Amino acid sequence: MSRAQEFDYLVIGGGSAGCVLAARLAAESDGTVALIERGRSDVNRWIHIPATFFKALQSQDAEAIVSAPDASLNGLPFPVPQGRVIGGGSSVNGMIYMRGQRKDYDDWADVHGCKGWSYSDVLPTYRKQEANARLDNEFHGRDGRLKVADPSSPHPVSHRIISAAISAGVRASDDFNGASQEGAGWYQVTAADGQRQSAAHCFLRPELGRGNLTVLTEHLVCRIRIENRRATAIEALDATGAAVVIRARREIILTAGSFQSPKLLMLSGVGPRDELLRHGINLVHDAQEVGRNYQDHVGAPVTRRLKHDIGIHGADRGLKALKHGVDYFVFGKGLLTSNLLQAGACVDTSGSGRPDVQFNFAPFAPGAPGKPPLGFHAVQVHPMTMRPKSRGRLGLQSTDPRAAPKFETEMLGREDDLDTLRRGVRLAREIYEQPALKEIVGEEIWPGPDVSSARGSNRLDDSIRSHARTIFHPAGTCRMGPDGSAVVDLELRVNGVSNLRVADCSIMPALVSGNTNAPAMMIADRAADAILRVDRTG
């Protein structure tokens, strides 16, 4: 027999968006709030030490959603790791704080019709959230909860890559979130004082003592109950596998991310008619775009061997690991305070007037997709698409809520995206040839010295297709828009159903030109504004 509970607000998904939203609703409304997360609490020590995020990604606190074989990737699948823990992506990501470009948000408003979501509309929310350690101006705030800082213990190899990029003609930048995103320099990061600054740490934890806030971990939400087109409750399985029903007096808000939010809508009867009927799900609302419009940044890291042991390979083993542990736990300094992905560049490679390729710079290099990092000292200059045109889609494998969604991609299906990576590879190779880097790097590992990057090189195309990988920024599968065909309206209410919203990166009509952790928190904060307006006006 199902156990029943009741709250005013149910927030489904305890990631970056869910932590922000639940915290605000608990602090600023008179209602009771339940934050429901299928993963566990953020007890994993690897989460909180900035440099060990790779270990967190390889733990039970993350899972990979794997696509069907993708013809545009030479038949390889496209795995996309996702956090499954309180804090979500903000607990396992690389901690880069980058919001995207002004024009991204202006396009949301002007091209996609999302009035109220322009850059001037969202900037106040970003500024309000920020506690920036260095910057305090029209683009940044100092009084928020999210600690944003320059990277700790900047690595000398990353410093050399920045210098080389500038020598190659990229201008210097000291703020990727300021007046212009273009340039090369040090990122700002959500790590400070030797601690990852996750959404759970910054927003949720300060509110946990409130009597009106309940956090339910290890609860798998199976479906949303929708009665007379009104969302009334969720059905879930708790940590023991027992069935529970949790009722919502006011609203249910999905913050489960770009894979799980559309999956839950479909399991609840909101989605493409044919997809739902195929699985015997009672149709509540024929929403053709649920699960469509999937987009992600795609990268292909140009890697070279370092001539000397000056990278971070082996830093987690033996005497090196012992030294780094002492530096961190005793003195609060050193490599472990670093997010490792400390530097990068945003470059206009197409002449369009705005950056179209982001580069991550790092003193280590990943292996092929799905493989461990290279087993020697190496360096990466990693180009990534910033505004991909290729799209994928999600469906259902089955009605089993434990099953991953059906994931179909064509991540380099559009020639524009492949061409963007070609340009990125060419510039990465040019950066390596600059004096600051040339004297410390050895052989090229990928694409390899026998692969030409000249225009018309089919070998380069094949190499990119085989080496391309996610940049962990899935978006778009519950598109926001002013039209009835959009999944959610401009206040993130699900079309066709009352008392139900979606507030995560799945609502993006187009992926922003940057990392998605900051936008996820911004979206949640603006959703809280909309919900609290209803709460205050009755």
Count, residues in the chain? 538
Nearest to 266 by CA among 105, 110, 34, 478: 478
Q: What is the pLDDT of residue 453?
A: 87
3-class SS string, 459-478: HHHHHHHHHCEECCCCECCC
Check if the beta carbon of residue 397 is closer than 8 Å to that of residue 403: yes
Please state, in angstroms and rounded to a whole number, the distance separating the CA atoms of residues 256 and 505.
9
Please report where in the chains the tokens 């027999």 appear, as a residue: 1
Dihedral sign (CA 110, 113, 115, 121): negative
* Contact between residue 184 and residue 162 where contact means Cβ atoms under 8 Å apart: yes
Radius of gyration of the chain, Cα coordinates, nearest whole angstrom: 23
> What is residue 140's DSSP assignment?
B
The pair of structure tokens assigned to 487 is 């999944």
| Residue among 39, 501, 526, 527 at smallest CA distance from 254 | 501
Residues in contact with 366: Cβ distance below 8 Å, sequence separation at least 6, in sequence order: 301, 303, 373, 374, 380, 469
Cα 247 to the center of its chain, rounded Å: 30
Q: For position 359, what pLDDT does the model report?
A: 98
Sequence-distant (6+) residues with CB within 8 A of 155 are: 312, 338, 340, 342, 363
User: Does 509 sit behind a cis peptide bond, omega within 30 degrees of 0 on the bond before it?
Assistant: no
pLDDT of residue 499: 98
Predicted local distance difference test score (pLDDT) of residue 72: 97
pLDDT reported for residue 170: 98
Q: Which are the catalytic amino acids?
A: 473
**Closest CA relative to residue 337, chosen from 86, 56, 95:** 95
Strand-pair partners of 383: 359
Which residue ranges form the domains of the chain, and what is each CATH number?
Answer: 1-147+191-296+392-406+473-538 (3.50.50.60), 152-186+298-385+413-467 (3.30.410.40)
The structure's pTM equals 0.97
Helix (H) or strand (E) holding 150: none
The closest alpha carbon to 388, from 416, 362, 360, belongs to: 416
Select from 56, 173, 134, 69 the least CA-distant residue to 411. 69
Q: Is 107 helix (H, G, I), strand (E, B) or coil?
A: helix
d(CA 517, CA 146): 12
- Can you say whether the dihedral through the CA atoms of 436, 324, 444, 457 is positive or negative? negative
Helices (H), 130-251: 156-167, 199
What is the rounded CA–CA span in Å between residue 415 and residue 418? 5
CA–CA dist 239, 242 (Å, integer): 7
Q: What is the pLDDT of residue 1?
A: 43
The CA-atom distances, in angstroms, between 11 and each of 20, 124, 203, 221, 417 are 10, 24, 14, 11, 35
Q: Which amino acid is at 42?
A: D
Q: Mind listing the pLDDT tens digit of every residue in the chain (538 residues)?
A: 456 699 999 999 999 999 999 999 999 999 999 999 999 999 999 999 999 999 999 999 999 999 999 999 999 999 999 999 999 999 999 999 999 999 999 999 999 999 999 999 999 999 999 999 999 999 999 999 999 999 999 999 999 999 999 999 999 999 999 999 999 999 999 999 999 999 999 999 999 999 999 999 999 999 999 999 999 999 999 999 999 999 999 999 999 999 999 999 999 999 999 999 999 999 999 999 999 999 999 999 999 999 999 999 999 999 999 999 999 999 999 999 999 999 999 999 999 999 999 999 999 998 888 788 889 999 999 999 999 999 999 999 999 999 999 999 999 999 999 999 999 999 999 999 999 999 999 999 999 999 998 887 779 999 999 999 999 999 999 999 999 999 999 999 999 999 999 999 999 999 999 999 999 999 999 999 999 998 777 6
Contact 445, 305 (CB under 8 A): yes
Cβ neighbour number for residue 2 with a 10 Å cutoff: 10
Of 467, 486, 376, 367, whose CA–CA distance to 424 is shortest?
Answer: 467
Q: What is the reported pLDDT for 3?
A: 66
Which distant-in-sequence residues (6+ apart) come within 8 Å of 3 by Cβ? 242, 243, 244, 245
Task: Give the contacts of 401 (CB within 8 A, at least 6 positions apart).
Answer: 220, 221, 222, 223, 237, 267
As beta bridge partners, residue 378 has 305
* Confidence (pLDDT) at 447: 96
